[in-house]
């Protein structure tokens, strides 16, 4: 049952508090020798140069990136599920990750190095992948057969995956580098990368503000939305463009991070109820929470090395997905 | 000629039992006989189905001869047949008998098994894009085989591990939806979840080992017929034989299950039990084939699709799918061996590269939405 | 034409098999049991970079070889040792084209340690196939492998010479470096976007670096069986802060790897970076190749980078 508006305010406040707490933990805990106490001292203004480097130059950027990526993936997932009326629509299933990986592999084969990879390449690939899957399944028909979208996405990802493998067969260097790229990670990303992503994210954010209301109207049905003066077709395409921008940017920074876009909207809907506008608000803190927690586990699980975050979100997200399917009837959107 | 799952006939022909002297309906042959108890029995054979199967069979034989002739060692087709029976030059006998024939057999069997499993799954899901791979079997097999190659865990050979992985993934998927039934997308979603976990595990393993080891595991991640394990092929041959018989036994309920559950039930099909049996059959066939060739994608989609476009829509085209799957696999591996020679492209990549555009075409082709 | 040469080849094979006396047969210990090789093989196919290297060092240009990593032909350093005859390509390491091997009608196949059983069964029907036994990773593994290949080629002496040439060159370089006062600890890493992977101190390359007098370390990050560590967290980068840092990628140009690593502030903080004692190296040679000729090429690299 959705809670009343007053209770939801409390919930949001709680979630935001949790997010602040987790961000703090993310600054305090790492794979290295700078423990929570030293890190805390740095936050308190200590002059420990090693610790301050670790906290401000390494942990702070990845925390910030985790927050941005989490928000982007969560909101994108909620939008996609709302517009497709399909609780299973996950950006990762739509060929976005496969598109990005394909683009990265292509540029690697053409001679670039993963370390100097222009982030825009991955973003472009993600966009094209998303557009391909959605245009072949034709956005209009998404509501009628939810499995169709999932299957088309899986099949398309398979195709791109094979093309990627084909290129890698001939290029061992690219093969060697890409196997680290395809699992996603927040480590070693620089703030410049985030800055490069910001414009497209901002465009998407502004667009989301404007389409939230028509999208909610669309949930009432095509006719109702038309009657309220909205253009269903236009709304759908705008939403898809937003999703592609958000997911493309997130994938380009952090690599493919699975299941965040699926699990986060689900949790958000459980708290917020069916209204997409409220769900979107709830996604904003829940997405970063999930990504940051996964990243913290990734740092400490195998210290002094790190696990890729994509593996962790898949390992955590898949059981949630299955639990959701098991627990009750899938909510119709 | 075009037909698809979406243009099913509105009613199925159900042969009447009580009145023996019935003429065969148009387009069928009727074989009638008296059973030992004196009941009149009859079998209807669809003429078009027979013609399609015969045509595909001939095409398959031609493809096989081509397969045996072409390659880095080119042999004249006239030299192939003698070599097949051990006559001719030693080197061509070796090429044909030891290098190409086992690989050809593996190609035919895996192609047939993938396609048969695919058509069964698609009929169940009432969706032309469903394959057993979607419920995580491929990923499970890959993860286990890769783990075996890089030397983690139990020291089973990769094919046995692939089989174990496929079984584990299927069991997990079944277990997770226990009680929920195998219907609808609840099942598929659970499968996708299971597949994603195994996919992540595979990626993690590959990222942590040296590239030489990752190379050794490579055929198991894309699907390849280069130097395949003999025991697994034998097992697949037996499994496919049994599977084909089982598929024929299930053929009639299967063709009725294309309709709504209530309709099928009304026509005397125990929908729940049959669905489980068909699903198991599909899973077992896929698992056995994956243990031989690794996760070769798309054959389970392309084979049945060819079969459906050729055969009539009155029945589920089991034989035609089997044959076209084998045909696709043989041609794909032939292309992989010869196109970029001396470098071989693994068959899994060839099928995906052919299958991708094909798939997009299916998706984009105008059609009415599914029932 | 083709049929005739084919037949001659087979007759030649049969004859050489029959006529060569058992006294010349050598029994080799391989991963798949004992293999008998007779006479001096002339039609050799190598399916491994180390085998190609050893074969060339012994003065035999193979008829066929697999491509190197990251290329569609043999490794660059090998080019200098090839005459007019070039080995035909037998596919890539990941997919060996067995028919192409057969087409060469070899009398000896030198295969990698990780050849699968199924591939071995087919290849050993074509010609005696030498698969080195898998050994625990040690810097000197390449010598045992090269000797095994040399024995199979019936050119033990040539390979002993090649191996001692490497040792001698390393010793000369070591004394030159010692005289120049160059020494200390060294790490060999591969730079990945998330951080470095530390290569094991038990690898071929690390062994050569050690031989010229540096102390190679892996900070205990690489397990006994491992070739490299997991990607090291940037927070722990100081663990690879030695006197020298050899930085490799599979790029032919190590400079590119250095440039990308320098984008990370955690990397530029390291002492070894500020002292400019980071040596960018060709990953194709440093992390993929193996054998006496590769060893000489790597020693050349070390000399160029370290000798003032």
Alpha-helical segments (H) within C108-264: 117-126, 141-153, 156-180, 204-211, 254-261
- Most confident among A113-122, B166-175, B201-210 (mean pLDDT): B166-175
Q: What is the CATH number for B188?
A: 1.10.3470.10
**What is the reported pLDDT for A147?**
58
Residue B30 in any domain: the answer is no
- Closest-CA residue of chain B to A263: B193
**What is the reported pLDDT for A119?**
64
**Mean pLDDT within B102-120:** 93
Answer whether residue B207 shows pLDDT above 80: no
Q: Between chains, do C99 and B230 touch, taking CB under 8 Å as contact?
A: no
**What is the reported pLDDT for A148?**
63
From CA B318, how far away is CA B49, in angstroms rounded? 10
Residue A108 in any domain: the answer is yes
Contacting chains of C (3 CB pairs or more, <8 Å) are A, B
Tell me which residue in B91, B215, B344 faces C97 most closely, judged by beta carbons. B344
**Mean pLDDT within B261-289:** 81
Residue A180 in any domain: the answer is yes
From CA A197, how far away is CA A199, in angstroms rounded? 6
Q: What is the DSSP letter of B6?
A: G
Answer whether residue B255 shows pLDDT above 60: yes
**What is the reported pLDDT for A6?**
66
Answer whether residue C233 shows pLDDT above 90: no
Contacting chains of A (3 CB pairs or more, <8 Å) are B, C
Chain C residue numbers with beta carbons less than 8 Å from the beta carbon of A303 are: 233, 236
Tell me which residue in B133, B177, B197 faces A326 most closely, judged by beta carbons. B177
**What is the reported pLDDT for C92?**
79
- Specify the higher pLDDT residue, B148 or C54: C54
**What is the reported pLDDT for A113?**
56
pLDDT digits (tens, 9 = 90+) for A193-224: 778 778 888 888 899 888 888 888 877 777 77
The three-state (H, E, C) secondary structure of A188-248, written as one string: CCCHHHHHHHHHHHHHHHHHHHHHHHHHHHHHCCHHHHHHCCCCHHHHHHHHHHHHHHHHH
- Closest-CA residue of chain A to B131: A151
Q: Between chains, do B71 and C99 touch, taking CB under 8 Å as contact?
A: yes
From CA A308, how far away is CA A238, in angstroms rounded? 32
Residue A333 in any domain: the answer is no
**Mean pLDDT within B242-259:** 83
- Closest-CA residue of chain A to B298: A155
Answer whether residue B27 shows pLDDT above 90: no
From CA A184, how far away is CA A126, in angstroms rounded? 14
Report the SS3 class of residue C48.
coil
**What is the reported pLDDT for A328?**
55
**What is the reported pLDDT for C128?**
92
Residue A298 in any domain: the answer is yes
From CA A284, how far away is CA C302, in angstroms rounded? 53
Q: Between chains, do A310 and B203 touch, taking CB under 8 Å as contact?
A: yes
Residue B200 in any domain: the answer is yes
Are B168 and B156 contacting, i.e. CB atoms less than 8 angstroms apart?
A: no
Chain B residue numbers with beta carbons less than 8 Å from the beta carbon of C125 are: 94, 98
Q: How many CB atoms lie within 10 A of CB B230?
A: 15
Q: Which of A84-98, B352-366, C16-30 has the lowest mean pLDDT?
A: C16-30
Residue A29 in any domain: the answer is yes
Q: What is the CATH number for A18?
A: 1.10.3470.10
Q: How many CB atoms lie within 10 A of CB B86?
A: 10
- Do C163-306 and C2-154 fall under one CATH topology? yes
**What is the reported pLDDT for B4?**
47
Listed residue (A69, A112, A113, A110) closest to A92, CA to CA = A69
Answer whether residue B332 shows pLDDT above 90: yes
Chain A residue numbers with beta carbons less than 8 Å from the beta carbon of B216 are: none
Tell me which residue in C68, C194, C266 faces A57 most closely, judged by beta carbons. C266
Tell me which residue in A31, A54, A305 faces C229 most closely, judged by beta carbons. A305
- What is the span of the domain harbouring residue A56? 5-327
- Most confident among A144-148, C73-77, C118-122, C229-233 (mean pLDDT): C118-122
Listed residue (B290, C24, B367, C128) closest to A141, CA to CA = B367
Q: Are strands C185-192 and C195-199 parallel, antiparallel or unpaired?
A: antiparallel
Number of domains in chain B: 1
Q: What is the DSSP letter of B15?
A: -
From CA B135, how far away is CA B186, in angstroms rounded? 11
Q: What are φ and ψ of residue C199, in 5° steps?
A: -80, 150
Tell me the count of B-C CB pairs closer than 8 A. 90
pLDDT digits (tens, 9 = 90+) for C272-303: 888 888 888 877 788 777 889 999 999 998 88
Bridge partner residues of B43 (DSSP): B31
Q: Which of A82-91, B213-222, C163-172 has the lowest mean pLDDT?
A: A82-91
Has this prediction a pTM greater than 0.90? Answer: no
Residue B191 in any domain: the answer is yes
Q: What is the CATH number of domain C2-154?
A: 3.40.50.1980
From CA C64, how far away is CA C48, in angstroms rounded? 10
Handedness of CA B143, A289, A63, A91 (dihedral sign): positive
Residue B198 in any domain: the answer is yes
**What is the reported pLDDT for C21?**
43
pLDDT digits (tens, 9 = 90+) for A116-125: 555 677 777 8
Between positions 205 and 264 of A, the ones with CB within 8 A of B are 258-259
**Mean pLDDT within A26-46:** 81
- What is the span of the domain harbouring residue B238? 50-364
Residue A332 in any domain: the answer is no
Helices (runs of H) and strands (runs of E) counted in chain C: 13, 15
Number of domains in chain A: 1
- Specify the higher pLDDT residue, A175 or B197: B197
Query: Terminal CA-to-CA distance of chain B, rounded, Å?
Result: 21
pLDDT digits (tens, 9 = 90+) for B298-320: 888 888 888 888 877 777 888 89
Residue ranges covered by each domain of chain C: 2-154, 163-306
Residue A175 banded pLDDT, cuts 50, 70, 90: low
Residue A321 in any domain: the answer is yes
Tell me which residue in A137, A150, A161 faces B192 most closely, judged by beta carbons. A150
Contact of A36 with chain C, judged by CB distance below 8 Å, is answered with: no
Test mutation, C14, C99, C109, C228, chain B, max B CBs within 10 A = C99
Between positions 65 and 104 of A, the ones with CB within 8 A of B are 88, 93
The whole-chain average pLDDT of chain C stands at: 81
> How close is the nearest chain A Cα to the Cα of C131, in Å?
23
Residue A80 banded pLDDT, cuts 50, 70, 90: confident
What is the CATH topology of the domain spanning C163-306?
Answer: Rossmann fold (3.40.50)
């Amino acid at each position: 049952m959705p809670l009343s508006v007053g209770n939801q305010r409390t919930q949001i406040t709680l979630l935001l508090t949790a997010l602040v707490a987790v961000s703090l933990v993310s600054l305090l805990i790492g794979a290295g020798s700078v423990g929570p106490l030293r890190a805390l001292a740095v936050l308190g203004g200590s002059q420990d140069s090693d610790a301050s480097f670790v906290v401000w130059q390494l942990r702070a950027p990845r925390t910030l990136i985790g927050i941005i990526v989490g928000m982007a993936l969560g909101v994108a997932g909620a939008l996609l599920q709302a517009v497709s009326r399909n609780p299973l629509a996950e950006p990762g299933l739509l060929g976005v990750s496969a598109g990005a990986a394909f683009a990265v592999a292509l540029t690697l084969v053409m001679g670039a190095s993963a370390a100097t990879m222009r982030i825009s390449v991955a973003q472009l690939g993600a966009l094209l992948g998303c557009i391909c899957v959605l245009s072949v399944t034709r956005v209009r028909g998404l509501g009628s057969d939810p499995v169709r979208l999932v299957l088309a996405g899986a099949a398309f990802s398979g195709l791109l995956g094979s093309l990627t493998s084909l290129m890698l067969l001939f290029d061992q260097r690219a093969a060697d580098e890409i196997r680290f790229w395809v699992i996603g990670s927040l480590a070693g990303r620089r703030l410049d990368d985030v800055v490069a992503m910001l414009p497209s994210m901002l465009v998407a954010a502004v667009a989301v503000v404007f389409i939230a209301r028509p999208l909610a109207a669309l949930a009432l049905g095509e006719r109702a939305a038309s009657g309220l003066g909205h253009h269903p077709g236009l709304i759908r395409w705008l939403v898809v463009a937003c999703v592609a921008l958000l997911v493309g940017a997130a994938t380009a920074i952090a690599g493919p991070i699975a299941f965040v876009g699926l699990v986060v909207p689900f949790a958000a809907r459980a708290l917020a109820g069916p209204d997409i506008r409220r769900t979107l608000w709830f996604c904003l803190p829940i997405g970063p929470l999930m990504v940051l927690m996964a990243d913290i586990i990734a740092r400490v699980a195998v210290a002094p090395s790190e696990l890729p975050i994509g593996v962790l979100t898949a390992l955590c997200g898949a059981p949630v997905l299955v639990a959701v399917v098991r627990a009750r009837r899938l909510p119709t959107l | 000629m075009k037909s698809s799952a979406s243009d099913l006939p509105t009613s199925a022909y159900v042969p009447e039992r009580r009145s023996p002297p019935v003429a065969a309906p148009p387009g069928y042959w009727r074989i009638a006989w008296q059973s030992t108890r004196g009941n009149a029995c009859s079998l209807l054979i669809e003429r078009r189905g027979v013609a399609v199967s015969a045509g595909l069979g001939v095409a398959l034989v031609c493809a096989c001869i081509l397969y045996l002739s072409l390659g880095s060692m080119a042999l004249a087709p006239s030299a192939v047949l003698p070599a097949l029976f051990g006559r001719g030059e030693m080197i061509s006998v070796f090429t044909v008998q030891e290098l190409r024939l086992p690989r050809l057999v593996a190609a035919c069997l895996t192609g047939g098994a993938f396609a048969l499993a695919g058509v069964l799954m698609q009929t169940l899901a009432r969706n032309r894009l469903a394959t057993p791979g979607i419920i995580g079997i491929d990923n499970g097999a890959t993860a286990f085989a890769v783990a075996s190659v890089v030397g983690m865990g139990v020291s089973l050979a990769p094919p046995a591990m692939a089989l174990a992985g496929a079984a584990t993934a299927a069991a997990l998927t079944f277990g997770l939806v226990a009680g929920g039934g195998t219907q609808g997308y609840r099942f598929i979603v659970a499968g996708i979840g299971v597949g994603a976990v195994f996919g992540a595990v595979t990626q993690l393993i590959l990222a942590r080992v040296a590239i030489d080891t990752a190379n050794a595991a490579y055929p198991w991640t894309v699907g390849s017929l280069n130097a395949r394990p003999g025991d697994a092929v034998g097992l697949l041959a037996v499994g496919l034989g049994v599977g084909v018989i089982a598929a024929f036994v299930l053929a009639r309920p299967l063709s009725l299950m294309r309709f709504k559950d209530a309709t099928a039930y009304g026509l005397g099909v125990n929908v729940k039990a049959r669905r489980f049996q068909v699903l198991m059959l599909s899973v077992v066939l896929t698992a056995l084939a994956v243990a031989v060739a690794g996760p070769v994608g798309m054959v389970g989609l392309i084979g049945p699709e060819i079969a459906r476009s050729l055969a009539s829509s009155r029945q589920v085209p089991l034989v035609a799918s089997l044959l076209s799957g084998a045909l696709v696999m043989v041609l794909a591996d032939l292309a992989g061996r010869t196109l970029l020679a001396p470098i071989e492209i693994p068959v899994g990549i060839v099928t995906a590269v052919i299958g991708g555009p094909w798939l997009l075409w299916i998706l984009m082709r105008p059609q009415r939405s599914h029932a | 034409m083709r049929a005739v040469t084919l037949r001659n080849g087979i007759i030649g094979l049969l004859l050489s098999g029959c006529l060569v006396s058992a006294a010349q047969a050598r029994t080799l210990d391989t991963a798949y049991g004992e293999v008998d090789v007779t006479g001096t093989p002339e039609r050799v196919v190598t399916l491994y970079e180390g085998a190609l290297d050893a074969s060339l060092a012994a003065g035999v240009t193979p008829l066929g070889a697999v491509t190197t990593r990251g290329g569609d032909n043999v490794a660059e350093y090998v080019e200098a040792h090839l005459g007019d005859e070039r080995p035909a390509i037998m596919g890539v390491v990941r997919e060996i084209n067995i028919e192409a091997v057969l087409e060469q009608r070899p009398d000896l196949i030198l295969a990698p340690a990780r050849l699968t059983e199924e591939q071995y069964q087919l290849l050993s029907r074509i010609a005696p196939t030498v698969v080195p036994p898998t050994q625990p990773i040690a810097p000197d593994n390449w010598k045992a492998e090269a000797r095994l290949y040399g024995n199979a080629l019936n050119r033990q002496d040539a390979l002993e010479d090649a191996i001692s040439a490497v040792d001698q060159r390393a010793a000369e370089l070591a004394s030159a470096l010692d005289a120049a006062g160059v020494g200390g600890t060294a790490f060999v890493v591969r730079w990945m976007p998330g951080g470095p992977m530390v290569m094991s101190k038990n690898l071929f390359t690390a062994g050569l670096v050690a031989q010229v007098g540096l102390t190679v370390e892996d900070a205990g990050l690489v397990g006994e069986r491992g070739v490299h560590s997991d990607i090291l967290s940037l927070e722990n980068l100081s663990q690879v802060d030695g006197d020298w840092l050899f930085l490799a990628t599979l790029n032919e140009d190590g400079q590119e790897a250095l440039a990308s690593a320098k984008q990370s502030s955690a990397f530029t903080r390291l002492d070894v970076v500020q002292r400019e004692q980071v040596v960018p190296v060709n990953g194709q040679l440093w992390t993929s190749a193996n054998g006496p000729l590769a060893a000489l090429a790597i020693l050349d690299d070390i000399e160029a980078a370290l000798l003032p």
